[in-house]
Amino acid sequence: MGWNKISNLNSELIPVGQSEVAEELAVGSTAVQAATVSGKATHVLISFKTNAVLVSFDGVDPNPTGSVGVHYAVGERDIWPLSRLSSATFIEAVAATAGAVRIEPMVFIGG
């Protein structure tokens, strides 16, 4: 049921435009957070570009050896509201295999 909501939301999201550029977040062995997205954006499109990444949303740093965090594989994409992005912490899922995450600002145009 949740996937339906995501696909419906996806059809009502558009890129914000040139005023807000996508961020390429380098993810390594130290936990990092994305830059704050501002302006018109209401959501972000997250694309996991290279190597698997762990993400936590509860203030606890993700930890590959402690199985803490949600695992995202290369090629996965997701749509997050800005509140989810602001609580997200990223770290590489496997030691010495840095990842890259693309974060694209989007705006909800639905009613």
What single-letter DSSP state applies at residue 40?
T
- Binned at pLDDT 50, 70 and 90, residue 67 comes out as confident
pTM for this prediction: 0.82
Determine the pLDDT at residue 68: 84
With a cut of 60, say whether residue 1 has pLDDT above it. no
Q: What tokens appear for 2 in the block?
A: 């949740």
pLDDT in tens, 85-104: 999 999 999 888 999 999 99
Number of other CB atoms surrounding residue 10 within 10 Å: 13
| Of 104, 109, 107, 103, nearest in space to 25 by CA | 103
pLDDT in tens, 5-50: 444 555 688 888 766 788 999 999 999 999 988 788 999 999 999 9
CATH architecture of 2-108: Sandwich (2.60)
